Amino acid sequence: MTSQLDFSALRIAILGGGPGGYEAAMVAASLGASVTIVERHGLGGAAVLTDVVPSKTLIATADIMARVASAHELGVRFENAEAAYADLGQVNARLLRLAGEQSADIARALERVGVQILIGEGKLLDNHRLEVTTDGGTTVVEADAILLAVGAHPRELPTAQPDGERIFNWTQIYTLTEVPEHLIVVGSGVTGAEFASAYDGLGSKVTLISSRDRVLPGEDADAAEVLENVFRNRGMTVLSECRAQGVERVGDGVVVTLSDGRTVEGSHCLIAVGSIPNTAGIGLEDAGVQITESGHIKVDGVSRTSAPNVYAAGDCTGVLALASVAAMQGRIAMAHLMGDSVTPLKLKQVASNIFTAPEIATVGVSEADVESGRYQGDVVKLSLHTNARAKMMNVTDGFVKIISRKGSGTVIGGVVVGPRASELIFPLALAVTKKLHVDDVANTFTVYPSLTGSISEAARRLHVRL
């Protein structure tokens, strides 16, 4: 006879209401624990309020604009000859409203399962106590275990301080009411590339400044090449191997000074040069929580920190800055804490997406991993330009890439570049996670015509005759 574990007396305090925090709270509460979550701004954290939800909503509008702009190539004509334009004031009002609604939905979901929500500032007193300051004063939350999900904030350059009017970080740019005449984006990582793509789609002239030899230096090289070619073909200026030395506001515009002395003039500037974990001043040393040189909290595969009973999840850990990873870390932490079945986080199973136009989605082992010798694999890349559905949709840029383990034929990685790559990567993520053979993918029916047909076709090209 098995006994049912009782967690009704277990007290859990969570500092941070982003994906890592609220997902952990849902798991713990559903298992019967008493959960208190502390968040200083609103449920959903930066991911919902100032980062993922707002930016992807903006990108959705830019995507519609781009489709309208190319509609004439599909035979669509407009009776009114005036070109479409983006009402940025309405766009930003909508995305901020959606972010607020999503935050409220999360709060209601937590309240339904009995989670106590405290809106305020929190810090560790030790590994069992949080000091929380709210509008009503200061209180101490005692807990059997604590989860830290405090997130990160935009990195700023001393010589390029955002003012929220002409010079922005990515949390401030939603105050714009008109599409910038000329937006200079400093930083060609994921955030910089996404905003550059979005504002190009919305009608801005865009200059993208990259300190590396290409955009998206940490991503699949073929995907980055496709995106950079698309950027240039659309009229975007991409300055490679250029470092911004400083940004200053001059009259009704900005001037970006490069390290080689050249200057770039524009109407607005967005600084997208990475993020800094929100780990300073929250009492980590008092609880015995160790951090890295970069300020990130050290965690193991089940989200434990160096302090007993203290876990951490999300961007503050530096593991992988994705909302999906933060949520998984939070769920894993609670499962481990409460004795439920748990599998340590496996980064090679994480599917991620860059919401540029075209989108870039990846999962598992990369081609760079194979080329470096870390993995033995076979790689097939299939362009979308031969795909019937792509032709119908007037899609000319993109490809599917599948990586299989040499010898066994197991799918170990994949890349999709094209429209809705974030959706198309799922079958490859499933194949990687479940260790499917390329023949399993190749022999599964796909709709004709469809973009997924290229996934099965790429898998067929990896078939090895026995």
On the question of pLDDT at 3 being above 50, the answer is: no
Q: What is the mean pLDDT of residues 88-107?
A: 97
Distance CA 95, CA 55 (A): 8
Q: Cβ distance 13 to 130 under 8 Å?
A: yes
| pLDDT tens, residue by residue, 335-353 | 999 988 899 999 999 999 9
d(CA 398, CA 165): 36
Cβ neighbours, 10 Å, residue 224: 22
CA 306, CA 326: separation in Å to the nearest integer?
18
Q: Supply 271's token pair.
A: 């600084």
- Is residue 9 scored above 80 in pLDDT? no
**Torsion angles phi and psi, residue 88, rounded to 5:** -65, -30
Inter-CA distances, 217 with 50, 284, 361, Å: 25, 33, 15
Check pLDDT > 70 for residue 237.
yes
Percent of the chain with pLDDT over 90: 92
For 221, 344, 404, the CA distances from 413, given in Å and listed in that order, are 14, 19, 7
Show the 3-state SS of 289-313. CCECCCCCECCCCCCECCCCCEEEC
Q: What is the pLDDT of residue 81?
A: 59
**Residue 347 near residue 362 (C-beta atoms within 8 A):** no
Q: With 80 as the cut, is the pLDDT of residue 85 above it? A: yes
| pLDDT tens for each residue of 273-306 | 999 999 999 999 999 999 999 999 999 999 999 9
Reported pTM: 0.95
pLDDT of 82 over the 60 cut: yes
Which residues, at least 6 apart from 160, have a Cβ–Cβ distance to it below 8 Å? 167, 186, 244, 246, 247, 256, 269, 271
Give the strand pairing for 11-15 and 34-39.
parallel
Angle at 397 between CA 428 and CA 388, to 5 degrees: 75
Residue-wise pLDDT for 239-271, tens only, equals 999 999 999 999 999 999 999 999 999 999 999
What number of other Cβ atoms are within 10 A of residue 340's Cβ?
14
Helix (H, G, I), strand (E, B) or coil at 164: coil
